Amino acid sequence: MRTRREMEDIEPYSWEKSSREIAQEFDLPVDKIIRFDLNTSPDIPQELLEKAIQSIPRLKIHEYPDTSYRKLSSLLAEYCEVNIDQITVTNGADEALDIISKVFLDSESNVVVSDPTYSMFRIVSKIMGAKVKGVLRNEDLTDNFDRIKDAVDEGSRVVFLCSPNNPTGTCISRTDLLKFLQSTDCAVVVDEAYYEFSGETLIDLINEYENLIVVRTFSKAFSLAGARVGYMCTSKKTADFLNKVRPPNSLTVFSLELARLALDNIELMKSNVSALEIAKEKMKKNLEKIGLYVYPSKANFLLVDFGTRPPSLIQSMLMEKGIVVRDISSMPMLQRCLRITVLREEQNQQLVQTLAEILAS
């Protein structure tokens, strides 16, 4: 077959094993597997689903969705405090990253990422044939804007940033970003997939900087990962480019309705975020009590340092008990770490207890 040359060195996005595979391998019931590796919310949003059931009979499922996604865009404009023509709705944040790469990148371009960070930034860039320059963060895992600035050259087309960053849980300093935006005209992407957990946003800066793209999702705080709804906030000029590339109908009428209901019932998301914030603080303290270093996190996950104990071994020992955490120890600066999503308190307690037993053995 004659695939594009870029296919040769693309490593696809990798997940931990599926619950079914883990259940089979360790002879566990599949419903006993707890996923602390996905950074999603722990509960099915029952109230939203009940409201969705009531609206299903009215959905125009025989027609394509309105390709401008006008109803949802207008609610999002209100939620983000921007104009409707500054919103581009996508099939999850990952489609947003894909669209960005198609608008800005080719085999002549290069991209800067602030390592360690979300692996899709590299993947979407490499698919377009772009070269990726990884720049190391500061010791406290915040972005090092001096290094980022040095890495940007004439060939740079996109700088991918993430706030709060997956997997470090750190936010971008507004002052540093402002200075950086003043120094460059290449696209600066800020992935705010975990924004609602931090309450810190850089969206207002899109009015001043036409090269700033903020990416968001309903997958995390809104508990709708399965619905696949994301969006971008940008200048109108950038939105016009994004719209040239965006597939006209990548969302379903069901997903659009779920996202609409989620914004119409914003208090449900807010109470999920507050509950997870309380659970996170408890989990952090409990992990510290068993002797682990836990980085401060502004997201719904914790980055945990296991010191001299190999993280991959700890991860497999947890997996044998049906507890799945994310092994990110192959990432630069994180050789001693695992990433753990905050779930319901009783689940978090189960994880801490199992870890305590493993560490004592």
118 or 180: whose CB is closer to ligand PMP? 118
Q: Which residues contact 237 (CB under 8 A, 6 or more apart)?
A: 210
The closest of 34, 42, 43, 41 to 16, measured between CA atoms, is 34
Minimum distance between the CB of residue 191 and ligand PMP, rounded to whole angstroms? Answer: 5
Minimum distance between the CB of residue 8 and ligand PMP, rounded to whole angstroms? Answer: 25
Minimum distance between the CB of residue 195 and ligand PMP, rounded to whole angstroms? Answer: 10
How far apart are the C-alpha atoms of 293 and 303, rounded to whole Å?
9
Name the residue number minimizing CB distance to ligand PMP. Answer: 92
Minimum distance between the CB of residue 213 and ligand PMP, rounded to whole angstroms? Answer: 13
Enter the tokens of residue 239: 């939105």
DSSP strand E in the chain: where?
34-36, 87-90, 110-115, 131-136, 156-162, 187-191, 212-217, 230-233, 293-294, 301-305, 323-327, 337-341
225 or 275: whose CB is closer to ligand PMP? 225
33 or 113: whose CB is closer to ligand PMP? 113
Minimum distance between the CB of residue 226 and ligand PMP, rounded to whole angstroms? Answer: 9
- For binding to ligand PMP (CB under 6 A), which residues are involved? 39, 92-94, 118, 162, 166, 191, 193, 217, 219, 225, 230
How far apart are the C-alpha atoms of 120 and 193, rounded to whole Å?
13
Minimum distance between the CB of residue 22 and ligand PMP, rounded to whole angstroms? Answer: 19
**Which SS3 state, helix, strand or coil, does residue 169 take?**
coil
For 233-262, the DSSP string reads: E--HHHHHHHHHHS-TT-S-HHHHHHHHHH
225 or 331: whose CB is closer to ligand PMP? 225
> What is the dihedral sign for C-alpha 174, 338, 291, 26?
positive
123 or 239: whose CB is closer to ligand PMP? 123
Minimum distance between the CB of residue 25 and ligand PMP, rounded to whole angstroms? Answer: 24
143 or 191: whose CB is closer to ligand PMP? 191
299 or 352: whose CB is closer to ligand PMP? 299
